[in-house]
Amino acid sequence: MALVKVAVVGATGAVGREMLQVLEQRDFPVGELICLADPREEGTRVKFRGEEITVRGATPETFAGVDVVLLAVASEISEQLAPEASRRGCVVIDNSYAFRLREGVPLVVPEVNPEDIKEHRGIIANPNCSTIIMVVAINPIHKAAGLKRVVVSTYQAVSGAGILGIDELTAHTKAALENREVKPEVFQYPIAFNLIPHIDVFQENGYTKEEMKMVWETRKIMHLPDLPVSPTTVRVPVYRSHSESINLETEKKLTPGEARRILAEAPGVIVQDNPAKNEYPMPLYTSLRDEVFVGRIREDISLDKGLNMWVAADQIRKGAATNAVQIAEIVVRENLY
């Protein structure tokens, strides 16, 4: 691939720093790298390929001459910066929610719908982390047997709320062990030794926005506008890697053995499913990995054509940074910038 000029916006945050690591680890053809963030963080230094790079304040002018922009900032910032970068000829891959459901903006998981990248008009959206993890696991089943319905419960790590979420779990755990009361700031309740069935704001239908993202985004990515998806999202006291319990109703009956074979051959999936040896995916062991791990594959005994599976994957990597870099790799390889 030709060398390209890359800008990472939000380079000081959890996802931005991970993007730098993934660019380096995957040997992305970076000819020149610009690291940008909030102007208040200008002067901060980050590492890339053994060197320290000084972070600059992100302004529209900083995108001049850049080929690919990776945005790892809040939606309101993306809404300001992404169009400015696109107007200057950059291909923008945005990790926020801002453009995911926008008509004309591809929402891409490379293992599922890479062909959609060719339709971009300057901006490509990176999906929600839980959605990415789920569709990588369920798309191979859909291709083999057709999906009629999806029911999913997520168990989401605190790092999904950024560095402040990580810090709050540490603080709350120490406080709980020392019998001290704590005041939640990032989460609605103390997160140590607790589960909170509330991520993002509640909608009029009783679901949270995080849950509805999984509905809307799954339908767009898989080109299944009417697919029934019923989600419940839960914050759990885990630092890294989201887990998901997924129930599928299919058009064609698949045995668990057939599902294991299909998933074992699917891109980006590792089947870890041997109950006799207590082998199944867990967040502790899927952290810092780029694959989606699938196990506990079994027949749904309440349905004629149904499967249950347990999935875990690193939501900072595959659920955010790695997925964005994979999109960028296709953009560069196929000269779509």
Kindly state the greatest CA–CA separation across the chain: 60
Please give the pLDDT value at position 327: 98
120: annotated active-site residue: no
> Residue 270: exposed, middle, or buried by beta-carbon count in 10 A (0-12, 13-18, 19+)?
middle
- Catalytic residue, from 120, 142, 172, 242: name it: 242
Domain 4-127+320-333 has CATH 3.40.1390.10: no
> Among positive and negative, which fits the CA dihedral 81, 87, 88, 94?
positive
Q: Which amino acid is at 54?
A: T
Torsion-angle region of residue 296: left (phi > 0), alpha (psi -120 to 50) or beta?
Answer: left
85 pLDDT above the threshold of 90: yes
Please give the pLDDT value at position 101: 98
pLDDT, tens digit, for every residue of 211-228? Answer: 999 999 999 999 999 999
Average per-residue pLDDT for the chain: 97
Report how far residue 264's alpha carbon sits from residue 298's, in angstroms, rounded to the nearest whole number. Answer: 15
129: annotated active-site residue: yes
pLDDT, tens digit, for every residue of 106-153? Answer: 999 999 999 999 999 999 999 999 999 999 999 999 999 999 999 999
- Catalytic residue, from 90, 129, 142, 172: name it: 129
Confidence band, pLDDT 50/70/90 cuts, at residue 2: confident
CATH of 131-315, one of 3.30.360.10, 3.40.50.300, 3.30.420.40, 3.40.640.10: 3.30.360.10
In our burial notation (b when 16+ CB lie closer than 10 A, e otherwise), range 54-70 reads: ebbebeeebbeebbbbb
Report pTM. Answer: 0.96
Task: Give domain limits for the chain.
Answer: 4-127+320-333, 131-315
pLDDT, tens digit, for every residue of 279-288? Answer: 999 999 999 9
Give every CB contact of residue 114 below 8 A, 6+ residues apart in sequence.
Answer: 108, 330
Cα 85 off chain centre by: 22
